[in-house]
Chain A
């Protein structure tokens, strides 16, 4: 039950950043009109964030992670359940490693 001061600082910084992001769109709409281009940039952002985060992490983690993430995406696309998608991804990684197919 310890609380490291640096960890507390990290949590407070994250919490502040997140609230600022949550408030920013609402605030901006009242003060500056969003241009079509800005709107399109923001629309492209969620997918861009996922691609920019996941690809390098897969490259770092190795082939088992790549296979697992592909299985998760396929499960999500067929079942529409995000929970099932992640569960199948995790199970795939464990299975692929247990069978020695990839590390």
Chain B
């Protein structure tokens, strides 16, 4: 992640073997990916999207967290104002990608732009983690990230279809608890990030501010204002 490792590393390259190895390293996470893709499809059916719309969203957006939030906001996106809000919320929810791809710079930075920028589309939380640990072990094949990312991508929008068909058969999502998929998915992502109470102060700030904003301001500003407040708090808490 630093200039030191940049000097230390050997030539960065793409290989077909790396594509396959990347997909193989992704295997343990695949069942979870399929289940979440299917859960997204089921919720999309519940929220009135067509099968084509749900699948297109999974294929083009390819970011589960923001897709689940979009479904929460769904009826409101029928207006241009609603779509602008959705764009802002999407950017906020996926701002974590900024830090993730910043960490890819020492590895992918030596490749020409046409080889590095398209690869960034395939970055997902698990795919990034797998690729970073491969790189930390000394690997330099850029195809590890892309191979894993493409395998996840196929599974992600492929699993949206059966999920949608099942979801369309469920009459009341609350009876089956489907409405808690999104908040449960978010909270589950939070658990591995736990590094002690001190590091969680920004989370508390974010949650408190978001609750306040949600009570006072209509719409979805609470996600944006709460997240930014939490990040600012994080910037001002000094490491001990």
Contact = CB atoms under 8 A, between A and B. Distances in A.
Nearest to B56: A11
Contact of A41 (B191, B199, B226, B232): B232
A70 to B, nearest CB: 8
B184 A47 contact: no
B72 interface: yes
Interface in B215-233: 222-223, 225-227, 229-233
B146 interface: no
25 contacts: A4-B53, A13-B83, A14-B70, A17-B94, A22-B97, A28-B102, A37-B235, A40-B237, A45-B95, A48-B206, A48-B233, A51-B206, A52-B209, A52-B227, A53-B227, A54-B186, A54-B187, A58-B183, A77-B191, A85-B191, A90-B178, A90-B184, A92-B180, A93-B174, A98-B175
Given A10-B70, A17-B91, A54-B183, A1 B52 contact: yes
Kindly name the residue among A3, A26, A40, A77 whose own CB sees the greatest number of chain B CB atoms within 10 A.
Answer: A26
Q: Indicate the size class of the contact surface on chain B.
A: 35 or more
Interface string B97-112: 1111111110011000
B203 A29 contact: no
Interface string A1-45: 111101111111111111111111110111000100111111111
Nearest to A73: B187
